């Protein structure tokens, strides 16, 4: 059994590899880690991070806060209060103020919270008709935290923004009334931090005949990358695998949506064994990751990652553009660069890896894929389409934005060809009627 040890601001200096680093690096973790999510564990520390190259190591950057992740004014403000040993309430107020300035709830996630009669279902998001996101309240933490995470208000005690629901009861009531829902995605945080017993309590009711309209149960998780022992040696690992087998045998599709940001996360013996065990239950594993500066902004790395995933029997699924939240200035890449990374990797891999779609931006209106850059009658444009849309009629219709070499997110783009609005922003719907006629 591998014993799980987590490291936070309170004990990270006890990590021998940290103690051996120049003192500034440790001090910077202390300052930045007060604002951004910070949690690492012994697997990440011992098996993933390359301590010989801490200055540039992507796995270190993924888990340990660095100075550059905070705006220099914010950094200086927190550093000063800490140095002065300012009273806790002053420090807390400053940190809260900084966090609120970092767009803690991007892409209007709060707009997707549905109602059951008068009851607001804070633990559910229902944005696309066929899929709901469910945030089980016990799954709102992770085995380690990503420094780029957009779910960080959930971990930082900003409870007003916490999407969580205690009971399965409301979920089931909602699903009884929504037969258009075919997929339920358990998400967090990370639902796989839950004990098998808790997870079963949420999932087993969904296997009963009245929920025959639910075809797919998905579990979004970073556990394979951060704590593969979840499926190997944790005290309830076997129960988890039995639950997975049971779901599959009940006739539903079980898809583990695994987050992998770097090929090294796929390289350890333990992750490979964990993947094999999950696959042996009949569950599928689909993979996704944002593309980010300092972590994975390199086409060869993506090529290697997708190939490795397919070797291990996983299905590459999404490449996302990093969200406009938290330390976004540190991780963000121009959209043009994201697309170049995508296509340079995509063109090198065979069709079995080309199940992946991206780069995709999860905007208020939907998941928008940057299909590419083209020139039409002398005007350089971005070609885009919805992979998922608030209004399903918008899906798959190419549309065009003016080329902008600096743009890093959809909200910075303007329609091409001097148009005032994108087709889906117009009140009338001439553009979207046509494809309907073909159906």
Ligand X SMILES: *Cc1c(COP(=O)(O)O)cnc(C)c1O
Q: Which stretches of the chain bind ligand SF4, using CB under 6 A?
A: 142, 145-146, 149, 151, 188-190, 222, 259
Question: Does residue number 323 form part of the binding site for ligand X (CB under 6 A)?
Answer: no
Q: Which of 74, 151, 252, 367 binds ligand X (CB under 6 A)?
A: 367
CB 229 within 8 A of CB 43: yes
Name which of 94 and 222 has its Cβ closer to ligand SF4. 222
Binding partner selected for residue 142 from ligand X, ligand SF4, none, CB under the kind-specific 5 to 8 Å limit = ligand SF4
Binding partner selected for residue 151 from ligand X, ligand SF4, none, CB under the kind-specific 5 to 8 Å limit = ligand SF4
Selection from 310, 316, 309 nearest residue 342 by Cα: 316
Question: Does residue number 362 form part of the binding site for ligand X (CB under 6 A)?
Answer: yes
Rounded distance between C-alpha atoms, residue 218 and residue 199, angstroms: 12
Name which of 63 and 362 has its Cβ closer to ligand X. 362
Binding partner selected for residue 125 from ligand X, ligand SF4, none, CB under the kind-specific 5 to 8 Å limit = ligand X
H or E element: which one contains 159? none
Name which of 200 and 255 has its Cβ closer to ligand X. 255
Binding partner selected for residue 146 from ligand X, ligand SF4, none, CB under the kind-specific 5 to 8 Å limit = ligand SF4
Rounded distance between C-alpha atoms, residue 248 and residue 45, angstroms: 34
What is the distance, to the nearest Å, from the Cα of residue 397 to the centroid of all Cα atoms in its chain? 25
Rounded distance between C-alpha atoms, residue 436 and residue 224, angstroms: 42
The span of 95-103, 127-135, 194-202, 340-348 binding ligand X (CB under 6 A) equals: 127-135
Name which of 193 and 353 has its Cβ closer to ligand SF4. 193
- Token digits of residue 163: 């999407």
Name which of 270 and 388 has its Cβ closer to ligand X. 388
- Pairing of β 115-116 and β 119-120: antiparallel
Rounded distance between C-alpha atoms, residue 148 and residue 327, angstroms: 6
Binding partner selected for residue 222 from ligand X, ligand SF4, none, CB under the kind-specific 5 to 8 Å limit = ligand SF4
Residue whose pair of structure tokens reads 């783009």 in the numeric block: 413
CB 373 within 8 A of CB 336: yes
- Token digits of residue 33: 């880690």
Selection from 263, 337, 326, 336 nearest residue 293 by Cα: 337
Q: How far is the CB of 190 from ligand SF4 (least distance, A)?
A: 5
Name which of 61 and 187 has its Cβ closer to ligand X. 187
Q: Which residues bind ligand X (CB under 6 A)?
A: 125, 127-128, 131, 133, 362, 367, 388
């Amino acid at each position: 059994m591998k014993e799980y040890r987590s490291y936070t601001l309170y004990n990270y200096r006890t990590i021998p590899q940290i103690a051996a680093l120049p003192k500034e690096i440790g001090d910077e973790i202390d300052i930045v880690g007060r604002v951004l999510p910070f949690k690492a564990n012994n697997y990440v520390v011992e098996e993933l991070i390359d301590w010989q190259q801490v200055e540039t190591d992507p796995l270190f950057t993924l888990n340990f806060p660095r100075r550059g992740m905070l705006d220099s004014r914010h950094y200086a403000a927190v550093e000063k209060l800490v140095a002065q040993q300012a009273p806790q309430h002053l420090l807390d107020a400053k940190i809260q103020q900084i966090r609120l300035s970092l767009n803690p709830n991007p892409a209007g996630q709060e707009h997707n919270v549905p109602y059951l009669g008068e009851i607001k279902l804070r633990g559910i998001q229902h944005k696309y008709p066929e899929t709901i996101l469910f945030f089980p309240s016990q799954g709102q933490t992770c085995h380690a935290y990503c420094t780029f995470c957009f779910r960080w208000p959930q971990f930082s005690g900003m409870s007003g923004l916490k999407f969580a629901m205690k009971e399965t009861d409301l979920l089931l009531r909602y699903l009884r009334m929504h037969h258009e829902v075919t997929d339920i995605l358990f998400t967090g945080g990370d639902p796989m931090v839950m004990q098998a017993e808790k997870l079963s309590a949420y999932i087993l009711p969904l296997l009963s005949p009245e929920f025959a309209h639910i075809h797919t149960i998905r579990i979004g998780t970073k556990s394979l990358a951060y704590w593969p022992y979840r499926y190997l040696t944790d005290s309830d690992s076997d129960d988890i695998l039995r639950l997975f087998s049971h779901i599959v045998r009940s006739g539903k599709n079980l898809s583990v949506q695994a987050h992998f940001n770097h090929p090294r996360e796929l390289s350890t013996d333990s992750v490979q064994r964990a993947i094999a065990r999950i696959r042996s239950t009949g569950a599928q594993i689909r993979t996704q990751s944002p593309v980010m500066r300092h972590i994975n902004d390199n086409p060869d790395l993506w090529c290697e990652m997708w190939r490795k995933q397919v070797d291990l029997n996983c299905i590459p699924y999404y490449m996302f553009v990093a969200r406009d939240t938290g330390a976004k200035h540190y991780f963000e890449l121009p959209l043009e660069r994201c697309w170049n990374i995508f296509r340079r990797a995509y063109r090198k891999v065979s069709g079995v890896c080309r199940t992946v779609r991206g780069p995709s931006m999860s905007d208020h209106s939907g998941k928008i894929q940057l299909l590419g850059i083209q020139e039409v009658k002398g005007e350089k444009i971005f070609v885009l389409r919805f992979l998922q849309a608030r209004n399903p009629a918008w899906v798959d219709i190419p549309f065009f934005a003016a080329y902008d070499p600096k743009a890093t997110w959809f909200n910075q783009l303007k329609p091409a060809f001097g148009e005032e609005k994108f087709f889906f922003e117009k009140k009338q719907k001439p553009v979207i009627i046509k494809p309907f006629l073909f159906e």
